Structure 1
Amino acid sequence: MSELEEKTLKTKEIYHGKIITLHLDEVELPNGKTATREIVKHPGAVAIMALTSDQRMIFVRQFRKPLEKTILEIPAGKLEKGEDPKRCAERELLEETGYTAKQLKQISAFYTSPGFANEFLYLFEAEDLVSGQAEPDEDEFVELTLLNLKEAFEAIERGEIIDAKTVLAVYYWQNQQLQGK
């Protein structure tokens, strides 16, 4: 055990839902004392930075109940058990936007909120897009929005783009532009 590691003494499942599971873990701290950790278990997700041939990024406008507001996000979705992240990205891009991509590559992967959740998100870049018909889930209501880089930064400034994966994607896009890619 490293000098910073917390040893799990006991785990209690509090809630098991369709998407998440909530655990309460009793842990032994490095100093020998105990503490309780509230942990959200999540199956993982993908997000897609989809760029059109005219240098616009595809966003979806969606109401987010935890925030009680509508925000702009890049297309994203939950991994199914055992699902390959690239296959999930292809599925989510089609479902939410109607687009398919001839080129899809993973550009990053990260934990979204490691202080309380184990959600791991794979970020993909999609290019050479072909438009089609969106196929959203029956409980999913999204509106397609295409923005150029300047408009995306203006949406960040207005507080329309406020989630980490989308902000990261916009800054990655800007970095790509600055490097001439």
Structure 2
Amino acid sequence: MKKLYEETIKTESIYKGKIIDLELQEVVLPNGSHSKREIVNHPGAVAVICITGENKMVMVRQYRKALKKSIIEIPAGKLDAGEKPEDCAKRELEEETGIIAGILKECDSFYTSPGFANELVYVYEAENLRQGEVHTDEDEFVERMDVTLTEAKKLIRSGEIHDAKTIYAIQYWELKQYNKA
């Protein structure tokens, strides 16, 4: 079996933005041929699974310009430079929902689109919850929603929940419920 590796021989910065950077890379393929790769560099993100004492998942409805529609998601956000994922999870949960987590447990992490982006999302579960105050970023508008597992599944079927991190969170919650039974 050939070694599955691509050597980068040239990198050109195409765009540097607030959330992502875009590079064009020339690579040597395992068979010696050359190709180009468009790479989106992302600082990483967090997502928070937050289940209330009423056994409801805390979510937010937010307009997503790239999709041209609002979708319902678990609280999440981008890592700031040098920020630890757990600190980001605490910050994002409180900013978007007003909830302060006494404990955050790391569940998992995953790449969102490894074919062209290096974004890694860290998923946390929030526990020992108390209510604080919502204080979203000035360009961020969200509506908090607390939903049951049954409601969450209906929202997936209707397309109102349509992102991987939230569907992952709902499956995680369902398996946790199943394992308690």
Q: TM-score range by the shorter chain?
A: over 0.9
1:133 CA drift (Å):
1.5
1:127 CA drift (Å):
1.9
1:7-22 alignment runs, 5 A limit: 7-22=7-22
The answer as to whether partners of 1:52 and 1:128 remain within 8 angstroms in 2 is no
Q: Provide the TM-score with structure 1 as the length reference.
A: 0.97
Q: Counterpart of 1:55?
A: 55
Secondary structure (helix, strand or coil) at the match of 1:91 reads helix
Structure 1, residues 113-135: CA drift from partner, whole Å, max 9, x if none? Answer: 10110001100001221112100
Whole-angstrom distance in 1 between the partners of 2:32 and 2:100: 53
Q: Provide the TM-score with structure 2 as the length reference.
A: 0.97
1:144 CA drift (Å):
0.3
The answer as to whether partners of 1:93 and 1:100 remain within 8 angstroms in 2 is yes
Q: Counterpart of 2:104?
A: 104
Whole-angstrom distance in 2 between the partners of 1:65 and 1:33: 38
Secondary structure (helix, strand or coil) at the match of 2:105 reads strand
Whole-angstrom distance in 1 between the partners of 2:76 and 2:34: 37
Whole-angstrom distance in 1 between the partners of 2:178 and 2:137: 37
Unaligned runs of 5+ in 2: none
Is 1:125 paired with 2:135?
no
1:41 CA drift (Å):
0.1
Whole-angstrom distance in 2 between the partners of 1:64 and 1:46: 17
How many residue pairs get matched?
A: 180
Whole-angstrom distance in 2 between the partners of 1:121 and 1:63: 20
1:27 CA drift (Å):
0.5
Q: Counterpart of 1:153?
A: 153
What is the one-letter code of the residue matched to 2:34? T
Secondary structure (helix, strand or coil) at the match of 2:154 reads helix
1:157 CA drift (Å):
0.5
Give the alignment's Cα RMSD to 1 decimal.
1.0
Whole-angstrom distance in 2 between the partners of 1:60 and 1:165: 13
